[in-house]
């Protein structure tokens, strides 16, 4: 009796949570900002969307959650009456790929790094939150995949989609619109908060730093930088983020080399100087240090090649994508 009551309660809670999140998504407003030269940043719920519109059609980056697809389509229709030809996923997480099925069904070609397709094809465990994510249906999977780089010649611009190894996950890309001078960083950049690094999906702080370095080589003072989460950024925001992440990485590595225990490392307060600025987001300072500790025990910390857990679909290529540039 007690057990079944508990079960009922559990069910009730999950139904309420579900209603809550559907309600929340009903209330979400998709805000669109015009960055010039045909590029727009869309904010709603989940990862920031990039839209590039012109005579050849619409090119879109990420698609948030499935219940928002109609609103996102309406926001894109305000920008252009052309179809969304290509949809890029910056990585596999559901707050960036949740709408894939809907966009695929309305004719968009989904493009992503090979590891995005691999991870979306099989059940995943997000270790940091102990959250299981079910495999996506075939219709939601990227149909064009690549290992290092892919370019799009569209709307009189060149869009350079570049893989960055083991950063937020093992399938991240940063995307540069050469003429428009806009970079979309995916979740390699959280503007204004500590980043979530999905260690279980092959992410690492060193990779986050390298991704920022790569973008800083491309960016100039006029570049608009779209972060995965947070407000639109400039080169100075990204420089600051790079500096902070590098400092935390250096301090953490030094403490690790001294052979300090996890508890002692936590007590050192290596993020204290930055907590006021970055500590109020989805990943708080303590969680951030816990992520770094888990990373120091994960295979990517040893520089070993990482493959997604279930690579039965297409086994070649994942190894190459993990090498350092």
Q: 93 or 163: whose CB is closer to Zn ion? A: 93
Q: Which residues contact 238 (CB under 8 A, 6 or more apart)?
A: 185, 189, 212, 215, 216, 219, 225
CA 30 to chain centre: 19
Pairing of strands 57-61, 31-36: unpaired
- Is residue 164 within 8 Å of 214, Cβ to Cβ? yes
Q: 180 or 212: whose CB is closer to Zn ion? A: 212
Q: Which residues contact 217 (CB under 8 A, 6 or more apart)?
A: none
- Is residue 176 within 8 Å of 218, Cβ to Cβ? yes
Q: How far is the CB of 91 from Zn ion (least distance, A)?
A: 6
Q: 9 or 282: whose CB is closer to Zn ion? A: 282
- Nearest C-alpha neighbor of 88 from the set 152, 17, 155, 157: 152
Q: How far is the CB of 168 from Zn ion (least distance, A)?
A: 6
Q: 43 or 93: whose CB is closer to Zn ion? A: 93
Q: 93 or 242: whose CB is closer to Zn ion? A: 93
Q: 91 or 242: whose CB is closer to Zn ion? A: 91
Q: How far is the CB of 61 from Zn ion (least distance, A)?
A: 13
Q: What would the DSSP string read from start to end of 239-287? A: HHHHHHHHHHHHHHHHHHHTT--HHHHHHH-TTHHHHHHHTTSSS-HHH
- Contact set with Zn ion (CB under 5 A): 93, 187
Q: How far is the CB of 225 from Zn ion (least distance, A)?
A: 17
The HSE-up count of residue 72 (CA atoms within 13 Å, CB side) is 35
């Amino acid at each position: 009796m007690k057990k079944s009551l508990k079960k009922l309660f559990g069910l009730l809670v999950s139904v309420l949570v579900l209603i809550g999140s559907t309600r929340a998504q009903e209330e979400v407003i998709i805000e669109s900002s015009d960055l010039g030269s045909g590029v727009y940043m869309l904010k709603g719920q989940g990862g920031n969307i990039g839209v590039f519109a012109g005579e050849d059609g619409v090119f879109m980056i990420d698609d948030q959650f499935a219940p928002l697809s109609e609103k996102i389509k309406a926001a894109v229709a305000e920008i252009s009456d052309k179809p969304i030809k290509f949809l890029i996923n910056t990585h596999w997480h559901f707050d960036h790929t949740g709408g894939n099925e809907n966009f695929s069904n309305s004719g968009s070609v989904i493009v992503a790094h090979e590891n995005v397709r691999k991870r979306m094809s099989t059940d995943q465990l997000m270790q940091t939150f102990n959250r299981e994510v079910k495999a996506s249906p075939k219709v939601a999977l990227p149909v064009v995949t690549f290992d290092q780089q892919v370019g799009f010649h569209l709307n009189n611009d060149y869009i350079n989609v570049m893989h960055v190894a083991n950063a937020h996950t093992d399938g991240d890309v940063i995307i540069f619109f050469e003429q428009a001078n806009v970079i979309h960083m995916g979740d390699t950049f959280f503007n204004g908060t500590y980043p979530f690094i999905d260690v279980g999906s092959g992410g690492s702080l060193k990779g986050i730093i390298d991704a920022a370095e790569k973008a800083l080589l491309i960016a100039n003072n006029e570049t608009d930088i779209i972060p995965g989460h947070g407000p639109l950024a400039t080169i100075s925001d990204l420089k600051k983020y790079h500096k902070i992440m590098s400092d935390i990485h250096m301090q953490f590595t030094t403490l690790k080399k001294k052979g300090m225990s996890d508890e002692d490392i936590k007590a050192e307060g290596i993020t204290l100087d930055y907590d006021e600025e970055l500590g109020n987001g989805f990943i708080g300072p303590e969680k951030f240090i816990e992520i770094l500790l888990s990373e120091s025990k994960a295979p990517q910390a040893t520089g070993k090649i990482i493959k997604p857990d279930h690579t039965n679909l297409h086994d070649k290529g994942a190894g190459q994508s993990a090498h350092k540039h």
